[in-house]
Amino acid sequence: MNEQETKQKETIIKLLSEKSVMKQDVYTNTIAVFNLLKEILKEKADDLSGTISKVDKRVNIHYKETSLQSSQLKVAGDILDFEMHSNVFEFDRSHAMFRTPYIKNSEYNSYCGIISVYNFLADSFKYNRLNDVGYLIARIFVNREKRFFIETRTQIGYKYNIFSADAVTREQLSDIVNELIIYSITFDLFTPPFDAVRQVSVMEMQEKSSSNSLRTGKRLGYMGSKEGSSNFDDEVNL
């Protein structure tokens, strides 16, 4: 092995022992946080279901684990879908976190696993309406030290918009889940403008029974022809 090959091998071993090990730590921590989230979701489903059933049995709440990296909390007419990504991500250098002392101290602190939370209409799944849309309402980022921050359009965003000082706690995750539930319930289904749905084709009406034709979402209402496509601002301004 010549000198160049020796240096190359040293570089590879250094990257594997530092960067690759760091990414394994991030992934392990993200799994741990996601598993804790699943416990919290199940507990909240049991607690809220027991309480609301005394008020009105028609309002149902339940938790379902759809895979090792996906879980759903149904709250009345809404579904909160929690998805853990299997990969580790880095941020663009223009991101504000790179100006913080925490990241300046070690750029490896900026690598994160992601848990995304989407809000769907429960009927979209119940009636297999494949064209219906959900909305991303939060992303939870977890790093190698199990510290976290969130991106969200909910009121809770201001509390957790930078990396936490310590590892994420059950109390913090419970706080976040509560706010996401509140947001999904208050984020209402809007009736679309009359002119946006004034036309519908015969084919769309014939296919309506298959639940795949008329597209529904909280900011879409329901859409018939392509003439009534949604305004992009409605979808991003949650």
List, for residues 197-238, the tens digit of each pLDDT value. Answer: 667 777 766 666 555 555 666 655 544 434 434 443 333 333
Query: Over pLDDT 90: what percentage of the chain?
Result: 63
CB proximity list for 209: less than 8 A, separation 6 or greater: none
**How many angstroms separate the CA atoms of 149 and 161, rounded?**
5
pTM above 0.75, yes or no: yes
**Residue 134 DSSP class:** -
pLDDT value of position 180? 96
Strand order across the beta sheet in which 148-152 lies: 61-67, 70-75, 78-84, 113-121, 135-142, 148-152
